[in-house]
């Protein structure tokens, strides 16, 4: 798989800082150049929010973080980098100058992506010596969570470079989409600008305030767009007759005066004051980093919900997250051979804000999630991976008994240990302890039973020999350990 070896970010504001976070969290050493006097503080805060978001996003093993270095010059930043991402302010003269400077200083093979929201790549690559390796990689805020980058080539960009860029984005969890032709604003911002222009008219004309407008989006079509976009959504809106009926019914409205798209509202002082005032009333009680954290937690929730979409196969950004996680698991070092003379440590967790409920402690189903993730870790340990599952075999959980013994507070580090109980492998009987890392106290236990199945035949069958070869020594080793207190217990109630 084509991979970025070393990245450079030129410009470390809202977008450049978040690109840096995306690279670093994917294990890529990254050098950043931004002359802003507070660049390190700002990027540090973005990085902290990004790390917090990733801890909520996935249990898959992220690689060790890449090293983040602050360079004193653009030339120092791009030295040795094979992906350079320009994210300086949206001015064609400034961007062209910076990209030309990058071109002169960088390895001629290095890819150069611009974060521009709408400037044509042909205009940006005009003065370059090696323009074939320059393209637009237009991301969406926050870059460390939203996976899309629109890849747009200019007149001198090589198609192979766009394909290479797309391939290099996949292992960092991003989806590159290559546009057929360059156009101002690309696809995303053409759509967003149309909406934005309408929104400004609606505020200007006192049809509603900013909060009402946001409510209209987030309680309705905003949720649709996260999962099906525009065309698939409208196909469904056409009912059984589908898209043709939808076009016939709503096509004529396009010519009615529903929108003001051809006019641009005058952003005079009065309108700016009105919008800023309404926005302050709507959201001013919270700081930007706080709002970012709320946004990130919601985005993580949406992506995780989409991961379960389409009957567990994953849908849209959730399917991409699933594929990213599979990549992380396959790239992770193989687990060390287990010491069978003691319980096996399987997985680490941390109690995130989204895991805490109205009682101020870790909510019930997160205990079960820790155990479910640990039983997946057990399966990986004995060689039950996605290839094994795709080939028609798996383990299904048929019974478990969870005991919650202590509270877990926000931020607590937790880990799970496993003891295998006597079983033949067709049955896989295990006992888990969830412990708090700070004092090793047991905060919960789970006794768990899985059955090995042939998914094609829909019945239990013995595991394949290569699985048994790994499982049997573990079961035999653990047979000499004391039976865990609580094993075999039913739900207890004093009478």
Ligand X SMILES: C[N+](C)(C)CC(=O)CC(=O)[O-]
Q: Torsion angle of alpha carbons 43, 49, 54, 56, nearest 10°?
A: 180
Cα-Cα end-to-end distance for the chain: 62
CA distance 268 to 425: 73
Instruction: Give the x-and-dash track for 121-140 against ligand X (CB under 6 A).
Output: -------------------x
428 bridge partner residues:
450
20 to 59, contacts with ligand NAI by CB under 6 A? 33-36
Residue positions in the annotated binding site for NAD(+)?
Answer: 11-16
Closest Cα partner for 100 from 122, 82, 130, 127? 127
Question: Where does this chain touch ligand NAI (CB under 6 A) — which range of 84-92, 317-325, 375-383, 392-400?
Answer: 84-92
Strand duo 442-454 + 393-404: pairing: antiparallel
- Among the listed residues 4, 10, 110, 347, the single contact to ligand NAI using CB under 6 A: 10
Using the rule CB under 6 A, is 141 a contact of ligand X?
yes
CA distance 73 to 424: 63
**Rounded least distance, CB 305 to ligand NAI, Å:** 24
Nearer to ligand NAI, 141 or 249 (CB): 141
419 bridge partner residues:
431
Query: Which listed option, ligand X, ligand NAI, none, makes contact with residue 16 (CB within 5 to 8 Å by class)?
Result: ligand NAI
**Rounded least distance, CB 192 to ligand X, Å:** 6
**Rounded least distance, CB 145 to ligand NAI, Å:** 13
Whether the Cβ atoms of residue 165 and residue 113 lie closer than 8 Å to each other: yes
Closest Cα partner for 381 from 413, 350, 328, 345? 345
**Rounded least distance, CB 142 to ligand X, Å:** 8
- Among the listed residues 48, 167, 192, 294, the single contact to ligand X using CB under 6 A: 192
Q: Which residue is nearest to ligand NAI (CB)?
A: 13
345 bridge partner residues:
417
**Rounded least distance, CB 273 to ligand NAI, Å:** 22
Q: Tokens 């946004």 appear where?
A: 295
Using the rule CB under 6 A, is 87 a contact of ligand X?
no
Using the rule CB under 6 A, is 419 a contact of ligand NAI?
no
As given in the structure block, the two tokens for residue 224 are 């649709």
Nearer to ligand NAI, 259 or 279 (CB): 279
Question: Where does this chain touch ligand NAI (CB under 6 A) — which range of 10-18, 53-61, 424-432, 458-466?
Answer: 10-18
- Among the listed residues 4, 6, 7, 12, the single contact to ligand NAI using CB under 6 A: 12
Phi and psi torsions of 215, nearest 5°: -60, -40
CA distance 215 to 132: 44
326 bridge partner residues:
none
Which helix (H) or strand (E) segment holds residue 231: the answer is helix 231-237
Q: Which residues of 198-228 are buried (b: 16+ CB within 10 A; e: fewer)?
A: ebbbbbbeeeebbeebbeeeeeeeeeeebbe
Strand duo 393-404 + 6-10: pairing: unpaired
Can you tell me whether residue 437 is helix, strand or coil? coil
Question: Where does this chain touch ligand NAI (CB under 6 A) — which range of 12-20, 153-161, 299-307, 396-404?
Answer: 12-20
Query: Which listed option, ligand X, ligand NAI, none, makes contact with residue 220 (CB within 5 to 8 Å by class)?
Result: none
Using the rule CB under 6 A, is 148 a contact of ligand NAI?
no
- Peptide bond preceding 142: is omega within 30 degrees of 0, i.e. cis? yes
Question: Where does this chain touch ligand NAI (CB under 6 A) — which range of 115-123, 232-240, 346-354, 408-416?
Answer: 115-123
- Among the listed residues 189, 373, 424, 472, the single contact to ligand X using CB under 6 A: 189
Query: Which listed option, ligand NAI, ligand X, none, makes contact with residue 11 (CB within 5 to 8 Å by class)?
Result: ligand NAI
Query: Which listed option, ligand NAI, ligand X, none, makes contact with residue 14 (CB within 5 to 8 Å by class)?
Result: ligand NAI
Question: Where does this chain touch ligand X (CB under 6 A) — which range of 23-31, 185-193, 247-255, 359-367?
Answer: 185-193
As given in the structure block, the two tokens for residue 35 are 């002359």
440: left (phi over 0), alpha (psi -120 to 50) or beta: left
Question: Where does this chain touch ligand NAI (CB under 6 A) — which range of 111-119, 197-205, 287-295, 330-338?
Answer: 111-119
Using the rule CB under 6 A, is 117 a contact of ligand X?
yes
Can you tell me whether residue 314 is helix, strand or coil? coil
DSSP, res 60: S
- Among the listed residues 100, 117, 278, 375, the single contact to ligand NAI using CB under 6 A: 117
Whether the Cβ atoms of residue 265 and residue 197 lie closer than 8 Å to each other: yes
Whether the Cβ atoms of residue 27 and residue 103 lie closer than 8 Å to each other: no
Using the rule CB under 6 A, is 115 a contact of ligand NAI?
yes
**Rounded least distance, CB 85 to ligand NAI, Å:** 9
Question: Where does this chain touch ligand NAI (CB under 6 A) — which range of 83-91, 210-218, 223-231, 344-352?
Answer: 83-91
Q: Which residues bind ligand X (CB under 6 A)?
A: 117, 140-141, 188-189, 192
Q: Which residues bind ligand NAI (CB under 6 A)?
A: 10-16, 33-36, 87-90, 98, 115-117, 138-139, 141
């Amino acid at each position: 798989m084509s991979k970025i070896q070393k990245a450079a970010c030129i410009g470390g504001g809202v977008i450049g800082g978040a690109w840096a976070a995306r690279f670093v969290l994917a294990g890529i050493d990254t050098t950043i150049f931004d002359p802003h006097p507070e660049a390190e503080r700002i990027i540090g805060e973005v990085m902290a929010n990004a790390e917090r978001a990733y801890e909520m996003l996935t249990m898959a093993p992220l690689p060790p973080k890449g090293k983040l270095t602050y360079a004193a010059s653009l030339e120092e930043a791009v030295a040795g980098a094979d992906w350079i991402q320009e994210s300086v302010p949206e001015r064609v003269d400034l961007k062209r100058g910076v990209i030309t400077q990058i071109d002169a200083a960088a390895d001629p093979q290095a890819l150069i992506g611009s974060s521009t929201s709408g400037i044509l790549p042909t205009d940006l690559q005009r003065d370059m010596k090696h323009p074939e390796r320059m393209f637009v990689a237009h991301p969406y805020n926050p870059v460390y969570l939203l996976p899309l980058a629109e890849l747009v080539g200019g007149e001198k960009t090589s198609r192979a470079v766009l394909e290479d860029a797309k391939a290099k984005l996949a292992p960092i969890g991003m989806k590159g989409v290559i546009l057929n032709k360059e156009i101002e604003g690309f696809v995303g911002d053409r759509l967003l600008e149309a909406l934005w222009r309408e929104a400004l008219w609606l505020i200007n004309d006192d049809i509603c305030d900013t909060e009402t407008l946001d409510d209209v989006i987030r309680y309705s079509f905003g949720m649709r767009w996260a999962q099906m976009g525009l065309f698939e959504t409208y196909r469904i809106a056409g009912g059984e007759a589908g898209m043709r009926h939808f076009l016939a019914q709503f096509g004529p409205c396009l010519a009615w005066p529903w929108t003001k798209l051809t006019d641009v509202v005058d952003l005079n002082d009065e309108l700016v004051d009105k919008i800023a005032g309404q926005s302050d009333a709507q959201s001013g009680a919270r700081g930007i980093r706080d709002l970012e954290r709320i946004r990130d937690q919601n985005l993580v929730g949406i992506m995780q919900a989409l991961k379960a979409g389409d009957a567990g196969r994953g849908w849209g950004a959730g399917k991409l997250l699933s594929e990213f996680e599979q990549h992380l698991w396959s790239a992770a070092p193989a687990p060390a051979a287990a010491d069978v003379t003691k319980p096996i440590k399987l997985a680490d967790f941390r109690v995130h804000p989204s895991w805490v409920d109205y009682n101020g402690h870790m909510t019930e189903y997160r205990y079960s999630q820790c155990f479910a993730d640990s039983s997946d870790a057990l399966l990986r340990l004995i060689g039950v991976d996605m290839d094994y599952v795709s080939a028609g075999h798996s383990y299904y959980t048929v019974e478990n008994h969870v005991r919650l013994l202590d509270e877990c507070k926000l931020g607590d580090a937790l880990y799970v240990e496993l003891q295998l109980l006597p079983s033949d492998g067709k049955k896989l009987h295990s006992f888990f302890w969830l412990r708090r890392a700070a004092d090793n106290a047991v905060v919960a236990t789970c006794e768990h039973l899985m059955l090995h199945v042939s998914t094609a035949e829909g019945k239990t069958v013995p595991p394949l020999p290569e699985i048994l070869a790994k499982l049997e020594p573990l079961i035999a080793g653990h047979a000499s350990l004391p039976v865990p207190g609580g094993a075999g217990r039913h739900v207890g109630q004093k009478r």
